[in-house]
Copies of this chain bind each other. A is one copy, B any other.
């Protein structure tokens, strides 16, 4: 997990706005949010932009969104125009994301080289604020405004269990849950499938069995008879590997819906815009304090909480405070840890800074 931008509101020369990259074992990169300047942050990081295959947008506020058209244009630069359309990038985001991207790229006449598939997450009526219609902005794209590179479009509605099933492959499930904010906002839960245990090749070699069809059969869970021996898979296959689970939040001031889609996440990434003393103001703007973040992470039985989306007034931990009125992110970290201690929870808490990387180790199932 690479934190490309950890500030809220607006980017500065030293801090980016929301953008977080999940690097998968197979090399793919999934991006979560894309505030203005995310493509610049990517260049500073270890992430290869060409490996991005999916982009998830939590909500349509500018500090999570306005870097998207530029990034999409730049991603095409590295591709061969003749074959680039074979590369498909999936874009997930709330209703309106398709209109935003299509309008920006369409007005600029920016050919993307790769193919773009848009999946819109349709908010429920409850997610819209009372003044929603006063703006008179249609979030739906008129049919005729399709980008030439668009290779697919679908909508995902909230299911009867109260969440949005976005993706379900052999290796991953991604679900979204509604977060309370000033506009429709979502939290994503990425769950890796459990993996089979590994084959104990040394043990097989000790019995004189060399790599070949027998290895494949044992891996597939079949009992094998070989030169008078009965080989049971359980003798040679290690414990299964537990799939990892990561939760990544958009902005929110109330997020209990997330509990519908999580089960003991390894990593819980939650906004923490302002300190506990500013809770009232925080909630008024649809945001969270460190104690609020820690509370939901504990309730979700998360192993580790990482705070991000910090107001720019909080300088990164360890950076000297130069003048009165300067605040440190260490305040936010301490407040979350205090709350965890009060609750006698074992939750580990960290606070993100730009370009911070976190590895999520695999665990054998117990």
Contact = CB atoms under 8 A, between A and B. Distances in A.
Interface of A: 9-13, 36-37, 39-40, 43-44, 60-63, 65-67, 69-70, 73-74, 77, 96, 99-100, 102-110, 134-139, 142, 144-148, 182-183
A274 to B, nearest CB: 15
Contacts of A183: 108-109
Contacts of A67: 36
Contacts of A99: 103, 107
A146 B137 CA distance: 8
A142 B104 CA distance: 16
Contacts of A66: 36, 66, 69-70, 104, 108
Best-buried of A99, A104, A105, A146 by chain B (most CB within 10 Å): A104
5 contacts: A10-B39, A10-B74, A12-B40, A96-B107, A108-B183
A100 to B, nearest CB: 5
A136 B11 CA distance: 33
A107 B139 contact: yes
B62 A106 contact: no
A37 B67 CA distance: 9
Contacts of A102: 137
A107 B39 contact: no
B62 A73 contact: yes
A77 to B, nearest CB: 7
Nearest to A10: B74
Best-buried of A12, A37, A43, A65 by chain B (most CB within 10 Å): A37
Best-buried of A12, A67, A103, A134 by chain B (most CB within 10 Å): A103
A74 B104 CA distance: 19
Contacts of A69: 62, 66
A74 B37 CA distance: 14
A106 B77 contact: no
Contacts of A63: 70
B100 A104 contact: yes
A179 to B, nearest CB: 16
Contacts of A144: 136, 138
The 9 closest A-B pairs by CB, nearest first: A106-B137, A36-B70, A103-B103, A96-B107, A10-B74, A66-B70, A37-B37, A62-B108, A136-B144
B137 A107 contact: yes
Contacts of A142: 138
A138 B141 CA distance: 11
Contacts of A11: 37, 39-40, 70
Contacts of A109: 60-61, 135, 137, 182-183
B61 A108 contact: yes
Given A62-B70, A136-B144, A103 B106 contact: no
A139 B11 CA distance: 29
Given A13-B44, A66-B70, A134-B148, 16 more contacts: A9-B77, A11-B39, A11-B70, A13-B43, A36-B36, A36-B37, A37-B37, A37-B40, A61-B109, A66-B69, A99-B103, A100-B107, A103-B104, A109-B182, A135-B148, A137-B145
